[in-house]
Structure formats: C-alpha cells, structure tokens
Amino acid sequence: MQAFVTPSAMQLSLTSKSCQPLKIVALGDSLVYGFGDPEGGGWVEQLRRWWMLSASAGHTLYNLGVRGDRTQQVAQRLEVEFRHRGELRNRVPDLIILSVGVNDSARVGRPNGRNYTDFSMFESQIASLLEQAQQLCPVIFVGMVPVDEAKMPFMDCLYYNHAEQYRYKEATRLACSKRRIPYLDVFQQWMDRSETWRLKRLSQDGLHPNTLGYQALLEDVMNWEALSKT
C-alpha cells in the first residue's frame, strides 16, 4: 500500500494549477453518499471537511450521492445537478467525480437471476454517462469496492458477487480508458489485499464500507495521481 498522502499535500498540488479554489461535484450511489459510516460520513464528506478547513485550498465539494442509484439514474440527474451548483462568478463546477455501477451488477431474486441492469444495456449507459459528463467539464471515476459474498442477499433480494462486479467494473474501466478519463480501480486494489483486511472494512450488510473502510477508500483516493494533478 502506498504511503498516505496528507490532506495538505494534495491541497497544495490541486491549488498549484488554479488561481482560485475549485468547485467539485461527486455523483453516484451510496459509496459517494457515505452510507455505513456514522462517524466520518464517508470518504467524500471527509474530503470536503479537509478542503473546507484548508487555508491553502478551500475547494468546494458537493456530495450528490443517492443510495441505490444505478448508472441510468445518475445520468438522468447529472446535468441538472451540475447546472445548479453555480457560485458567484464561478457558474459551474470545475470537476465531476463519478462513482456508480455496483447496483447495476447485482443479480435480482436469486444468485443466478437477471442482472439489475442488463450487461449490454449497462455498457451503453456507462458510455453515454461518461460522454455526457465530459461535455460539461473534466471527469474522473472512482470504482466500486468488493462485497462480502457470504452476506448476500442484500435487502433479501439483491445478490452481489465478485464475478459480476469484475465484469461491470471492467466495462467501466475500458469505457473510461477509451475516453481518457482517469479510473481508480478500487475493486482490484482491495482484492489484491487479504480477505481479512477487506472483511474488516465492510459493514454487517456485506455491501457498504464501514468507518474503517471509508478511511481506507479515502486514502486510496488521496494517493491517486489523477486527483492530485487535477
């Protein structure tokens, strides 16, 4: 694991490319919302607090995560959310952070049931979402975390598993690569660590990170070159 990048180090790197603080929107599902972390509120919230307290950066970060959202729902609200985050002279955000896809990958009703979003439909929807976002401003993408398969089903009806997660995250990674959108492969980073490490960072529902998990995710994001060079 890489050495943890301090908030001040990343803030200075971000401000070095701009004369004023940036306005950033994070759109996605519960991973953006921060569900499962009653202490820190998730990685987006913790990043927002650090930037707000920093005299050197002061970036504004809007958490626009909605629990249960799939790619189609994020796409439907993307431009409206973007257009309504104007502040004073800076009328629209400078950067979009996307994080969505895990809900699309779930099997419905039984372990071998249909995917919540058909895979071919997902490929089309994720491509459309990325292109729509790129027309608005620069975009980066934070991938999903691996679930605890032993805790499935979630909500007694959704079966998440690593094989489907891998398939959907790979489609997302390739779609981002094709459009030169930086993609943080959180799934692979966490799978490369031990199972014991992963399970200690997931909530009892087996789907959402816990407080320790969101702290780990925050470190992954802050160590990410794409964000430090934004």
The pLDDT tens digits for 122-161 are 999 999 999 999 999 999 999 999 999 999 999 999 999 9
pTM beyond 0.75: the answer is yes
User: How high is the pLDDT of residue 179?
Assistant: 97
**How distant, in Å, are the alpha carbons of 67, 139, 204, 223 from that of 207?**
12, 26, 8, 23
Torsion-angle region of 101 (φ positive above 0: left; ψ -120 to 50: alpha; else: beta): left
Measure the CA–CA gap between 228 and 47, rounded to whole angstroms. 13
Domain assignments of the chain as residue spans, ordered by start: 7-228
Cα 175 versus chain centre, distance? 15
CATH 3.40.50.1110 is the classification of domain 7-228: yes
Q: Which residues of the chain have pLDDT under 70?
A: 1-19, 55-57, 86-90, 229-230
